[in-house]
């Protein structure tokens, strides 16, 4: 992935008609671009900021069917997601894990209810099951979760779901597109839609945020995968378009692993106000969070609300013998869920379905709305199939069900490096040649200089934020440690990306502003 080369290609082929242009480089858009390019369509994806810079790097990091949605009776949604869970764990084994969860239970009713519910969850996952669920008694529950409060505890229900690194998965999808001949460019904003004499969409107007150049780019099929910005693109097509998105904000707090002291995650299906609470081990830390709050404003960097932070800490403290407080938060992050709204009642605050929606406007704009990370592959398949059905694309079969993101057969000295997929072996070779590259940049974070250099050369980071938030997860794992290494990171990036003198200072300043939202 080399931005200069990809932009130069785009300039050289100014008169080219792309088969597919995808607007938005989150989970949805990248999934669509990969589906499209692997079917053999000439594919271009434009992302206005960084890949997965918005919602897709701020998820709970679960590859799941959604136990909660089962309780809401959305069985088909859960079944489809469980199937996709299995496919994602098989196709991206280097970025996914089988995670054990325990639901603590306090009444006989809950023992029966959750045991039955999770048996059904197992059943729905069929051949792609990650392990059977079962009841454990009180003492075995406390063995697994030593910091769980014991008062009134009857036992626990053990079950399995998947876990992953969301932004690394996004970068891997982008890499997969480029490897297969697609063009994906970050910091390139779609500013308008091109229409022919019949009023049909035939391309996009776009703006390169790095060079300031404007482009008119022609395409047979334009796909809007812009997450919470979907309606902005709809308005470019039709200023009268009705709202289709209902944003809803979720907050997560990252704590030291000493707050859980377990490799099992805790899931509390019903807290004091009926919301879910979970505490999940992730990269040697614990991510604690709850379900979302509906919101009216859309921003690229949503701010965690005070009441959300207080709710999470207070509720975690009710269940854990070591209650966390604000000063224990290593990082706090918020994400906006692009839920598909009811067009007749777009601001309804009741639970909006997690199911995705594909729409085709009169002028031929395909939009893919809502859904979840886990289902990105299926959503992409359905979107391209819809483009075929609408006559925008010639018929070709989807191949992503068996598309493997990891073919590394080399035995790694450091298993941790496998998150870089087939690049891990190359990072180890760099360390063999220059052993000093293996030194940790900061003892609080797992990253070495070798990784930072390799990322600069292969994964298209353009800012320190790209490097610290999404290529590595430093911002999410420990915001203060990430700020401490920002000057070193800026130095390495400036050298690798051959930036001008002011870049380093500007980047550090910008990063110091960014982290305020995460502290």
The residues binding ligand FAD (CB under 6 A) are 23-29, 46-49, 52-56, 58-62, 64, 189-190, 225-229, 250, 292, 335-338, 371-374
Q: What single DSSP character describes residue 448?
A: B
Q: Which is nearer to ligand FAD, 235 or 397 (CB)?
A: 235
Size (the chain), residues: 519
Cα(183)–Cα(22) distance, integer angstroms: 10
For residues 206 and 188, the answer to whether their CB atoms sit within 8 Å is yes
Q: Which is nearer to ligand FAD, 153 or 193 (CB)?
A: 193
Min CB(356)–ligand FAD separation in Å: 8
Min CB(51)–ligand FAD separation in Å: 7
Half-sphere exposure of 312 (CA within 13 A, CB side): 29
Beta bridge partners of 216: 205
Min CB(390)–ligand FAD separation in Å: 21
> CA torsion, points 372, 376, 381, 383, in degrees to nearest 10?
50
Give one word for 34, left, alpha or beta, with left for phi > 0 and alpha for psi -120 to 50: alpha
Q: Which is nearer to ligand FAD, 24 or 155 (CB)?
A: 24
Min CB(463)–ligand FAD separation in Å: 14
Q: Which is nearer to ligand FAD, 253 or 430 (CB)?
A: 253
Query: What is the residue-wise DSSP string for 364-409?
Result: --EEEE---GGGHHHHHHHHHHHHHHTTSS------GGG--S----
Min CB(140)–ligand FAD separation in Å: 27
Min CB(440)–ligand FAD separation in Å: 29
- Sequence-separated contacts (24+) of 449-457 with Cβ below 8 Å: 449/492, 451/417, 451/420, 451/427, 452/489, 452/492, 452/493, 453/492, 453/496, 454/420, 454/423, 454/426, 454/427, 454/430, 455/420, 456/492, 456/493, 456/496, 456/497, 457/496
Min CB(432)–ligand FAD separation in Å: 37
Cα(161)–Cα(82) distance, integer angstroms: 9
Three-state SS for 161? strand
Q: Which is nearer to ligand FAD, 38 or 249 (CB)?
A: 249
Q: Which is nearer to ligand FAD, 355 or 449 (CB)?
A: 355
Min CB(170)–ligand FAD separation in Å: 8
Min CB(341)–ligand FAD separation in Å: 14
Ranges assigned E (strand) in 228-312: 245-256, 265-268, 277-282, 285-290, 293-294
Cα(343)–Cα(329) distance, integer angstroms: 38
Of 132, 109, 112, 136, nearest to 121 (Cα)? 132
Ranges assigned E (strand) in 35-173: 43-46, 62-63, 96-105, 134-137, 155-164
Q: Which is nearer to ligand FAD, 69 or 447 (CB)?
A: 69
C-beta nearest to ligand FAD: residue? 26
Residue with tokens 């729409």: 359
How many C-beta neighbours within 10 Å does residue 447 have?
A: 23
Q: Which is nearer to ligand FAD, 61 or 246 (CB)?
A: 61
Q: Which is nearer to ligand FAD, 72 or 410 (CB)?
A: 72
Cα(216)–Cα(204) distance, integer angstroms: 6
Q: Which is nearer to ligand FAD, 135 or 188 (CB)?
A: 188
DSSP H or E run through 191: strand 188-195
Q: Which is nearer to ligand FAD, 35 or 47 (CB)?
A: 47
């Amino acid at each position: 992935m080399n931005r200069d080369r990809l932009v130069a290609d785009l300039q050289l082929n100014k008169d080219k008609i792309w088969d597919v242009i995808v607007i938005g480089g989150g989970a949805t858009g990248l999934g669509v671009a990969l589906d499209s390019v692997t079917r053999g369509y000439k594919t271009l994806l434009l992302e206005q900021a960084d890949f997965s810079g918005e919602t897709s790097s701020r998820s709970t990091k679960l590859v799941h069917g959604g136990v909660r949605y089962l309780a809401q009776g959305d069985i088909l949604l859960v079944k489809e997601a469980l199937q996709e869970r299995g496919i994602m764990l098989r196709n991206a084994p280097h970025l996914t894990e089988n995670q054990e969860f325990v639901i603590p239970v306090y009444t006989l009713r809950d023992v029966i209810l959750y045991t039955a519910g999770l048996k059904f969850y197992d059943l729905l996952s069929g051949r792609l099951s990650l392990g059977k669920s079962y009841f454990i008694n009180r003492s075995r529950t406390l063995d697994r979760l030593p910091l769980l409060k014991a008062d009134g505890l009857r036992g626990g229900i053990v079950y399995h779901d998947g876990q992953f690194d969301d932004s690394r998965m996004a970068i891997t999808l982008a890499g997969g597109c480029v490897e297969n001949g697609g063009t994906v460019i970050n910091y390139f904003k779609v500013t308008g839609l091109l229409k022919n004499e019949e009023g049909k969409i035939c391309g996009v107007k776009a703006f390169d945020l790095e060079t300031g150049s404007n482009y008119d780019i022609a395409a047979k099929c334009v796909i809007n995968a812009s997450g919470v910005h979907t309606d902005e693109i709809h308005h470019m097509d039709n200023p009268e378009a009705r709202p289709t998105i209902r944003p809803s904000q979720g907050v997560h707090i990252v704590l030291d692993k000493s707050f859980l002291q377990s490799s099992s995650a805790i899931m509390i299906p019903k807290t004091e106000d009926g919301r879910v609470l979970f505490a999940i081990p992730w990269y040697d830390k614990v991510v604690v969070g709850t379900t979302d709050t509906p919101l009216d404003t859309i921003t690229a960097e949503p701010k965690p609300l005070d009441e959300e932070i207080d709710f999470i800490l207070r509720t975690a403290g009710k269940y854990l013998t070591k209650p966390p407080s604000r000063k224990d938060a290593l990082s706090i992050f918020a994400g906006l869920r692009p839920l598909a709204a009811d067009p007749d009642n777009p601001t309804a605050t009741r639970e909006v379905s997690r199911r995705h929606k594909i729409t085709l406007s009169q002028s031929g704009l395909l939009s893919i709305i809502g859904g979840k990370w886990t289902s990105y592959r299926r959503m992409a398949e359905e979107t391209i199939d819809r483009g075929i059905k609408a006559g925008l694309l010639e018929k070709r079969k989807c191949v992503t069900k068996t598309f493997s993101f990891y073919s590394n057969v080399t035995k790694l000295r450091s298993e941790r490096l496998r998150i870089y997929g087939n690049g891990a072996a190359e990072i180890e070779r760099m360390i063999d040649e220059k052993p000093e590259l293996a030194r940790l940049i900061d003892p609080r974070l797992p990253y070495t200089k070798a990784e930072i250099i390799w990322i600069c050369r292969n994964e298209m980071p353009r800012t320190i934020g790209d490097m610290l938030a999404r290529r590595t997860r430093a911002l999410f794992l420990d915001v203060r440690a990430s700020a401490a290494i920002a000057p070193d990171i800026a130095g390495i990036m400036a050298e690798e990306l051959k930036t001008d003198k002011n870049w380093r200072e500007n980047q550090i300043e910008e990063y110091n502003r960014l982290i305020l939202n995460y502290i």
